[in-house]
Amino acid sequence: MSEIKSLSRIPTVSLHGSEFYIELDTQDLIARNTCVIKITSHDDGDAFCVDVASHDATDTSVCEIQVTCADHEFSVSCRSQLNAKGKQCLVVSLPDIQIPSLIRVKLVYPNDSIDISDGFSRYQAIDITDEFLRYQLDKTKLNDNVYLTNTLFNASARSFTSDELFIITYAYLNVLPLNNQNFGGLITILCYRITDNLVDRGHILEQVYQTHRRYLDVVCPHDAVAFRWLVSSSSTLVTALLSVGCVTQAEDVLDSALKLIFHPSFNPLVHQNYALLLFQGGLIKSWNGCFDEAASLFIAAVNAGRYGMTDLLHPQNSWILGQLSDCYKFLHIIEAAYRAALACTRNNLPSQTRFSTTKTAPKLHMDYKSIFDRFACFKKNSPPFFEQVLHKLQTRQNGQ
């Protein structure tokens, strides 16, 4: 059996969906031999839930990751396969790396053990664990609103790419306490990054949904920061769930969130996401054939958009020129919601709403790309749910 004393070059680490691909030269990874990636972690008392995937014992190309903590040691499955370039790779699930408590990574071959970081620092002064350690948040500042805002939420201040934000938010999903006032922000960013690649990341949404349900049980809606992220996370999660056709789960998030949102003006930063949440609620109720409920939510979305624009256009708002794009977003939401309300009621809006009907209801049209411009899955074609509900509304408007 061949022993390997050093690697010929620094392996390339890349993210594919929710997995890391560690690319090695052919001579560095002998497929017929079993190898292990050994991970040493801090023991902070954190409980990590790791799904151990089964593998075919007859497949000799299957590898394992061995995770070492201060008080116990266990192994999780990984696999060896070719990437798109035909290079042999070790494929590792992102949660298995346990980024929040990671110390170092080692490759362990039969009859040999190689400290990757020591090996590379010895030859090229490069530490491969930088590939993972740079995604760690400062554990002493996880309750620091300014730190998390500048690190994750403020697009102009953060230094991470979209994929890197996905890595961080997914890694900390089950680590950051649910009652942290910024926990909803973590879910918000993660939902955006999942919709960047629904094909490879959509399966994560069930886990995010279950986590969000537990989060709603402990979130404090009277904390201004937590309230902002309650509305934001609920709106973005609904969009992500609808984009993969999970209408029942999306409706559950919607109904649960609306029970907690006492008044959006508590934090003006929620106006847009609140209007989007109401608008999507109207879409869900329309999809279910509950057109009276849908009309009420669409009308509420119009009013929420009006309030949001009024707040943005306030004379004391010194950032108004930088927020004109948000005003345009509100206009798109208002237009689509008003047309949808007319379609739901067949041009017979209740007089109590103080919305007048028109002589001839305008043809129903929704510019989803402008409404959901922050979601990559809308860039080319809108996800099926949104086109299906549009067809249902058009049928309703035509009296069929």
Pick from 248, 266, 249, 257: nearest CA to 219? 257
Write down the residue that tokens 């997914």 correspond to: 170
The one-digit pLDDT tens for each residue of the chain (400 residues) are: 344 444 445 567 788 899 888 776 655 545 434 567 766 677 654 433 333 333 343 343 444 445 444 444 545 567 888 887 888 788 888 888 888 887 776 666 666 655 544 434 333 444 455 677 889 999 999 999 999 999 999 888 898 999 999 999 999 999 999 999 999 999 999 999 999 999 999 999 999 999 999 999 999 999 999 999 999 999 999 999 999 999 999 999 999 999 999 888 888 889 999 999 999 999 999 999 999 999 999 999 999 999 998 888 877 777 666 678 888 999 999 999 999 999 999 888 877 777 766 777 778 889 999 999 999 999 989 999 999 999 999 999 888 6
Give the H or E element holding residue 112.
Answer: strand 112-115
Would you give the DSSP letter of residue 362?
P
Q: What pLDDT does residue 125 have? A: 43
Q: Answer yes or no: are the C-beta atoms of 43 and 70 closer than 8 Å.
A: yes
Q: Per-residue b/e over 298-337, b at no fewer than 16 CB within 10 Å?
A: bbbbbbbbebbbebbeeeeeeeeeebeebeebbebbbbbb
Q: Answer yes or no: are the C-beta atoms of 180 and 137 closer than 8 Å.
A: no
**Phi-psi bin for 158: left (phi > 0), alpha (psi -120 to 50), beta?**
beta
Phi and psi torsions of 74, nearest 5°: -150, 165
By CB neighbour count within 10 A (0-12 exposed, 13-18 middle, 19+ buried), where does 255 fall? Answer: exposed
Give the H or E element holding residue 77.
Answer: strand 73-82
Q: What pLDDT does residue 71 have? A: 41
Interatomic CA distance for residues 181 and 174, integer angstroms: 15
Q: What pLDDT does residue 216 have? A: 97
Phi and psi torsions of 41, nearest 5°: -125, 155
Q: Answer yes or no: are the C-beta atoms of 285 and 239 closer than 8 Å.
A: no
Tokens of 209: 């949904």
Q: Answer yes or no: are the C-beta atoms of 227 and 221 closer than 8 Å.
A: yes
Interatomic CA distance for residues 18 and 13, integer angstroms: 13
Residue 285 half-sphere exposure toward CB, CA atoms < 13 A:
21
Q: Answer yes or no: are the C-beta atoms of 112 and 5 closer than 8 Å.
A: yes
Tokens of 332: 């798109």
User: Residue 10 corresponds to which amino acid?
Assistant: I
DSSP for 238-295 reads HHHHHHTT-HHHHHHHHHHHHHH---GGGSGGGHHHHHHHHHHHHHHHHHTT-HHHHH
Pick from 203, 210, 201: nearest CA to 166? 201
Q: Answer yes or no: are the C-beta atoms of 120 and 127 closer than 8 Å.
A: yes
